[in-house]
Structure 1
Amino acid sequence: MTPVVGHLTIDSADPGTLAAWWGQALGWQEVWRSPDGAEVAIGSPTGGSTNWLFNRVEDAKTVKNRLHADLRPPDGSDYDTELARLLGLGSVRVDIGQGDAPWAVLADPEGNEFCLLRHTPAEIAAYLTTTD
């Protein structure tokens, strides 16, 4: 047997605010909050993904993340629409040395990098079925 991932933990100066931002970005909801608000978890309303737990830390982020999320535009949308939506929520473009990549590298309000990939899940599935 192997372990099951309970959640992905993200260090944060303000867990409630960052969890709310990511909840809005992902369409997720808060699923748990510690009594003192130092930890806040969000998850998919369908339960189909590993929850993310935002954990209060005192030290500031100083270097590029060693782990980051790669997001895809949802089916029924597209890269340009989703990029505009994420930028409108307050993410910013960042340069981590990616060069002329075909995806966008962005950062959330606390500077945590993430990527927006070009293709929707349906586009990737269609591509994979034609290359088998």
Structure 2
Amino acid sequence: MWYHSQMTSRIAAIAIDAHDLRKVADFWAAVLGWTVTEEVPDEIITIAPAGEPGVSIDVVKVPEGKTVKNRLHLDIRADGSTQAQEVERVLALGARPADVGQGPDVSWVTLADPEGNEFCILSRSVQDVAGDLNAG
């Protein structure tokens, strides 16, 4: 049973483990158009939308490399372009195709960041979703 109260939680940050902090933080900042907002050398780099409060990404230093599929991943949408154009752009930034067993008939594209953290680019763009919301 769902219980609604006046007190809730909000996501403040999403943590991504990395061996090479700068490489992973720069990749995600470029993908999302975000900027570095905080940095503790050899520990953590935080990226977030410039001047906008909300969720940030903390790229956190870990000693080990990635060895298994992520249990949590990001789903992103193209903003101002198509899925195919966004996939091409993100591949040029250093992503690579990833096979996590998704099969050939899915509508999303699964990729991995420079250290292997999986993420998906969804088929519908930000504008497609906004158009559907405005039409309803």
Once the two structures are TM-superposed, the CA of residue 65 in structure 1 deviates from its matched residue by: 0.5
1:20 to 26, 31, 40: 26
Residues 127 and 3 (structure 1 numbering): CA distance in 2 closer, same or farther, change over 3 Å? closer
RMSD: 1.5
1:38 aligns with 2:43: yes
What residue in structure 2 maps to residue 107 of structure 1?
A: 112
Using a 3 Å threshold, how does the CA distance of structure 1 residues 48 and 123 change in structure 2: closer, same or farther?
Answer: farther
Shift of 1:60: 1.8
Could you tell me how far apart the structure 1 residues matched to 2:81 and 2:55 are? 23
Contact 2:12 2:54 (8 Å CA) reproduced? no
The aligned runs of 1:1-132 (5 Å cut-off) are 1-34=7-40, 36-47=41-52, 49-74=54-79, 76-100=80-104, 101-130=106-135, 132=136
Partner of 2:3 in structure 1?
none
Which residues of structure 1 form unaligned runs of 5+? none
Cα offset for 1:102?
Answer: 1.3
Q: Which amino acid aligns with 1:78?
A: T
Q: Distance in 2 between matches of 1:118 and 1:48?
A: 27
Task: State the Cα deviation string for residues 2-46 of structure 1 (Å, max 9, x = none).
Answer: 233321111110112210111011111000001x33110000124
- Mark the runs of 5 or more structure 2 residues left unpaired by the alignment: 1-6
Q: Is the 8 A contact 2:31 2:93 kept in 1?
A: yes
Under a length normalisation based on structure 1, what TM-score does the superposition of the two structures give? Answer: 0.89
SS state at 2:60 partner: strand
CA contact (8 A) 2:65 2:115 kept: no
The alignment's TM-score, normalised by the length of structure 2, stands at 0.87
Q: How far apart, in 2, do the equivalents of 1:56 and 1:22 lie?
A: 15
Identity %: 36
Say which is worse superposed, 110-119 or 57-66, in terms of deviation. Answer: 57-66
Q: Judge conservation of contact 1:16–1:37 (CA < 8 Å) in 2.
A: no
The count of residues paired between Structure 1 and Structure 2 equals 129
Indicate conservation of the 8 Å contact 2:23/2:114, yes or no. Answer: no
